[in-house]
């Protein structure tokens, strides 16, 4: 024993190591399968924008040169898209949405600070809080699997430093009404930072589900997180961004890693932003897939919550983990480690294959029902 634990920050000592989800390769090998359909990580199954690929290939020839240290060109382009001035000083670029979540913990959370969010939600929030000695306050989602804004408001104490709202929420796919969220943002005491994670919001086609970017002003400590990983199909490239007022930006930009995004990544995401065709067809494909899967699973007697994302959350009536394990034997990976099943929406062909596998597994009758 080297006693390295004693040298490590207390927040780090107490957190468990991250356990990644199963890969298609490991499931293929385990069950000796030729084909595995992985619909477990909410990746974009429509691929990557061809324009982005072309730009990345071109940029690869200049990989010997450092990229723009502060991503200013991308920040300006994003700022302009969302109606800010052309300084880029309302935009932080990070290594995926996960990067800004970590940065927020590092910059704002100190020993004993409380962070409130609903449960279940995206796992990264809790890690960012605990690594920095903060205390997580979890408020259960409502019976409708919605973020409980009233519950969060009631949980505020004088130690509350930050509130995370995942909208639409991962893993439930549900989204809160935008008027209610707007009212919540303006009601929260001004000394609290409100973070709205909109990683999936572009998939929402319901007019009641709106981005909160319009609520950013000097009067609110509001940060909106977005990512190129989902709609733009660039999860492997690792670029996320967040929007906020200039004061918050000034603090976070100082703490951001210099050269946070590489040359290839920057070229790729900037080209992807201009590929309207890819974006529109992805949104339409997801909308159709969402309808199709919801209908098919409902016919099987599953309860499917209304999703505003590229995945669905559903109660099959079977034991969730056992169902996911059994599906893997037939070459389908979904997420089975929440209360209910979370399934990523794929291309129509994948969706049909997925439904066929689910039907087969249920017919086989090897999955125990819930008590």
Ligand X SMILES: Cc1ncc(COP(=O)(O)O)c(C=O)c1O
What minimum distance in Å lies between the beta carbon of 73 and ligand X? 20
- Check binding of 72 to ligand X (CB under 6 A): no
What minimum distance in Å lies between the beta carbon of 257 and ligand X? 14
- Check binding of 202 to ligand X (CB under 6 A): no
What minimum distance in Å lies between the beta carbon of 340 and ligand X? 16
Residue with the CB atom nearest ligand X in the bound state = 96
- The CA-atom distances, in angstroms, between 16 and each of 22, 130, 237 are 18, 11, 26
Q: Of the candidates 5, 132, 6, 40, which has an alpha carbon nearest to the alpha carbon of residue 325? A: 40
Query: Which DSSP helix (H) or strand (E) runs through 352?
Result: helix 348-364
Cα gap 81→274, rounded to integer Å: 11
What minimum distance in Å lies between the beta carbon of 122 and ligand X? 4
Within residues 295-324, the interface with ligand X by CB under 6 A covers: none
Name the residue nearer to ligand X (CB basis): 91 or 362.
Answer: 91
Interface segment toward ligand X; rule CB under 6 A; list 75-83, 90-98, 269-277, 334-342: 90-98
Report the residue from 52, 199, 201, 248 that binds ligand X according to the rule CB under 6 A. Answer: 199
CA-angle at 200, arms to 199 and 206, nearest 5°: 140
What minimum distance in Å lies between the beta carbon of 278 and ligand X? 18
- Check binding of 227 to ligand X (CB under 6 A): yes
Alpha-carbon torsion 64, 69, 70, 76, what sign? Answer: negative
Residue 280 class from Cβ within 10 Å (0-12 exposed, 13-18 middle, 19+ buried)? exposed
- Check binding of 344 to ligand X (CB under 6 A): no
What minimum distance in Å lies between the beta carbon of 360 and ligand X? 28
- Check binding of 229 to ligand X (CB under 6 A): yes
Structure tokens at 109: 């959370």
- Which residues lie across from 369 on neighbouring strands? 318
Token pair 């007022």 is found at 245
Within residues 97-126, the interface with ligand X by CB under 6 A covers: 97-98, 122
Q: Where are the beta strands (DSSP E) in the chain?
A: 37-38, 91-94, 114-119, 135-140, 160-166, 193-197, 222-227, 240-243, 303-304, 311-315, 332-333, 341-344
Report the residue from 114, 197, 275, 328 that binds ligand X according to the rule CB under 6 A. Answer: 197
Interface segment toward ligand X; rule CB under 6 A; list 94-102, 215-223, 278-286, 320-328: 94-102
Per CB under 6 A, residues contacting ligand X are 42, 96-98, 122, 166, 170, 197, 199, 227, 229, 235, 240
């Amino acid at each position: 024993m080297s006693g390295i634990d004693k040298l490590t920050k207390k927040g780090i000592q107490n957190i468990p190591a991250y356990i990644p989800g199963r890969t298609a390769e490991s499931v293929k090998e385990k069950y000796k399968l030729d084909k595995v359909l992985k619909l477990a990580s909410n990746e974009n199954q429509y691929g990557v924008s061809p324009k982005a690929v072309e730009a990345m290939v071109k940029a690869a020839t200049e990989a010997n040169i450092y990229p723009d240290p502060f991503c200013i060109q991308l920040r300006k382009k994003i700022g302009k898209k969302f109606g800010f001035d052309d300084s880029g000083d309302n935009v932080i670029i990070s290594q995926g949405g996960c990067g800004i979540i970590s940065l927020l913990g590092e910059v704002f959370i100190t020993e004993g600070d409380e962070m409130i969010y609903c449960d279940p939600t995206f796992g990264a929030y809790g890690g960012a809080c605990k690594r920095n000695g903060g205390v997580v306050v979890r408020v259960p989602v409502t019976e409708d699997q919605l973020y409980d804004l009233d519950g969060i408001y009631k949980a505020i104490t004088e130690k509350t430093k930050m509130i995370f709202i995942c909208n639409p929420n991962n893993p439930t796919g549900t989204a809160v009404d935008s008027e209610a969220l707007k009212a919540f943002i303006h009601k929260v005491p001004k000394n609290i930072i409100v973070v709205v994670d909109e990683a999936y919001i572009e998939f929402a086609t319901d007019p009641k589900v709106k981005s909160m970017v319009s609520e950013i002003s000097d009067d609110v400590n509001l940060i909106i997180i977005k990512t190129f990983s989902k709609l733009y199909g660039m999860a492997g490239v690792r670029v996320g961004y967040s929007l906020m007022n200039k004061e918050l930006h000034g603090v976070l930009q100082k703490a951001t890693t210099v050269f946070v995004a590489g040359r290839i990544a920057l070229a790729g995401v900037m080209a992807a932003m201009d590929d309207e065709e890819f974006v529109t067809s992805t949104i339409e494909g997801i909308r159709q897939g969402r309808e199709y899967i919801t209908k098919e699973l409902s016919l099987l007697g599953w309860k499917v919550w209304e999703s505003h994302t590229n995945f669905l959350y559903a109660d099959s009536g079977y034991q969730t983990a056992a169902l996911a394990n059994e599906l893997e034997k037939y070459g389908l990976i979904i997420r089975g480690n929440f209360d209910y099943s979370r399934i990523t929406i794929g291309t129509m062909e994948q969706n049909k294959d997925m439904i066929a596998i689910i039907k087969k597994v249920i017919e086989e009758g090897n999955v125990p029902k819930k008590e």
